[in-house]
Amino acid sequence: MFLFIKFILIICVFAASTFIGYTLAGRYKTRVAELNDLLFALEIFETKIKYTYDSLTTSFLYIADNLKTKVYRIFFVTAEEIKENKNDSAGDCFKRVVDDEKIFLSLNKDDIEILKELGVSLGQTDMEGQVKNIKLVYNSLKRQLENAKEEKNKNFKMYRNMGMLSGLVIIIILL
C-alpha cells in the first residue's frame, strides 16, 4: 500500500513539473503568435484608414473578427469602450484597454509600451499622421517579433526539457 502511494506521488510530481515546464515554454510560442497577430492587425488598420474611411469602432471590430489569438480582445474591447465613453479620446480608451488586457497576453513590457504608442495619435491626427504612427508601431513590433523568435528558439526547448528533468531530479531525491 505504501509503495502504491509513493508511486502515485512520484507520478504527480513528474506530471506537475513537466506541466510547469511546458507552460513556461508555451509563453514563448504564444508571444510570437500574438506579435504576428498584432502586425496583421496593424496592416488591416492601415488599409482601413487609407481606403475605406470607416470609423475606428467599425475598423476595430473588423480587426477583432480577423485575429486568431487573444490580441483580438484589445481591439474588440476598445471598440466597445469608444462607443460607451464619448468623453474620452480614442487614444485614451486604447491605452486603458491595453493596460487592462495585458494580463491575458504573453506580451512583455516592451511590447505593451510599443503597442500603447498606437494610442498616441489615434483619432487625433489626419490620415497621414495616423498612417505614419501605424508604420512606426509596425516597425517597432517587427523588431520585437525578431527578438521573440530568437528567444523562442533559444528558450523553448530548454524550459520544456527543464520541467521534465527537474521532475526526474525530484523523483531521484525522493527515492
Which tens digit of pLDDT belongs to each residue from 42-101? 999 989 888 887 888 888 899 999 998 899 999 999 988 888 877 778 888 888 899 999
What is the torsional sign of CA 15, 17, 23, 26? negative
- Taking the model in full, what pTM does it have? 0.84
DSSP summary character for residue 86: S
Question: Which pLDDT does position 85 carry in this prediction?
Answer: 77
124 in Cβ contact with 95 (< 8 Å): no
pLDDT at 144: 92
- Domain residue ranges in the chain: 2-174
pLDDT of residue 157: 86
